[in-house]
Amino acid sequence: MDVADARVSKLPAFLPETDRFFPDNTFDMRRALVVHAEGMERAAKNAQGRAPRDKAYTLSAELLLMQHTCHWYRHSKAVASARMLARHQTPYQQLLASVDPETRQAYLAVIGR
């Protein structure tokens, strides 16, 4: 994937060619996908020794956060958050709080928060 095609706007609404006009307000989707893959792997391996129910909860949160990021890439953060709330009754902040702490820290670093 071309670098320009992998940029995701951090602006609240979709604007075409954000990466050209506001490059500091974007993040690299490829890096975000690596963070998601590592988070799902950690949750699946369960090195923390979580109970089966807690492992499933964390893995579900990891998957939903990746879905949110994919919708963000395609549309905007606002649309992604609205879809997450409508389809899964899960606010974005709850997703962030529910993933593995390593995932959360890496994810926030990628998106620049």
Total number of domains constituting the chain? 1
| pLDDT given at position 25 | 82
Q: Indicate whether 57 belongs to any domain.
A: yes
Asked if residue 36 is part of any domain, the answer here is yes
Q: Is residue 14 in a domain?
A: no
In a domain, 102, yes or no: yes
Is residue 65 domain-resident? yes
Contacts by 100-109 with C-beta closer than 8 Å and gap 24+? Answer: 100/39, 100/42, 100/43, 100/48, 100/58, 100/62, 102/38, 102/39, 102/42, 103/35, 103/36, 103/38, 103/39, 103/42, 103/62, 103/65, 106/35, 106/38, 106/39, 107/32, 107/35, 107/36, 107/39, 107/65
Does 48 reside within a domain?
yes
Domain that holds residue 79: 28-111
| 15 occurs within a structural domain | no
Report, as ranges of residue numbers, the positions in the chain whose pLDDT lies below 70. Answer: 1, 4, 15, 19
- pLDDT at site 37: 98
Residue 13 lies in a domain: no
46-53 long-range contacts, Cβ below 8 Å, gap at least 24?
48/100
Residue type, 26: T
Supply the pLDDT for residue 19: 66
